[in-house]
Structure 1
Amino acid sequence: MAKIAYGSAHVPLSPAVRAGDFIYISGQVPTLADGSVVVGGIEAQTRRVMENISAALALAGATLADVVKTTVILADAREFGAFNKVYGSYFPEQPPARTTLEARLMIDIKVEIEAIAYLPQK
């Protein structure tokens, strides 16, 4: 199992861990490199989360096309439609399996997403 890291972490976790042919991406939140939360509604926050997932995947040589499963946590289920429109734009063909739930998040944000990718090692 290989931990894949970038930058200085503010919390004790790895953004991505490779276990064989699978890459596990920790829950990504709508923050910028400096740790500040993206200003805006669910659409802007979803875009930032997806960009953060893409960056974590890139550390392992993977892309969103390699994602096979996501777990989405929304702070407010009433924002599902707006979230889903943005999320879907990142997976235009063969979207991954997904679980979506509503829960209070650890910081004042609207969305958190974790992902699992499959990319055979060379």
Structure 2
Amino acid sequence: MRRVILLSIGMLALALGTLGIFLPLLPTTPFVLLAAWCFARSSPAFHHWLYQRSVFGPLLRHWEQHRALPPGAKRRAVAMILLSFGVSLWWVDTGWIRLLLLILLAGLLLMMWRLPVRAAPPDPR
């Protein structure tokens, strides 16, 4: 039963993470990390599948090995956060929603600022 629950949560998290690529206020990274965690504890096949995807695999493998983002990932993430929030703030006319968006933006930028960045060591080959 635990396996089925973790697998279901992993699938839902992966779906939400994938939607987060396209929707401005839905985060991608936390959902993909949750999916990886759930799959690691419920289905080695899905865990392997997720780590082999070209979209999420390299970042997941780098995070697992170094507990840090690869160089450039933080800069791209911050740029996308600023772009998506900028568009959202431009579309919204209600003052309290703008304030809420600015608070969310500040929280996300603080979270991103705290994430470490580390380059992978050069391949010895």
Task: Give the TM-score normalised by structure 2.
Answer: 0.29
Q: Give the strand-richer structure, 1 or 2.
A: 1
Q: Give the helix-richer structure, 1 or 2.
A: 2
Q: Name the larger-Rg structure.
A: 2
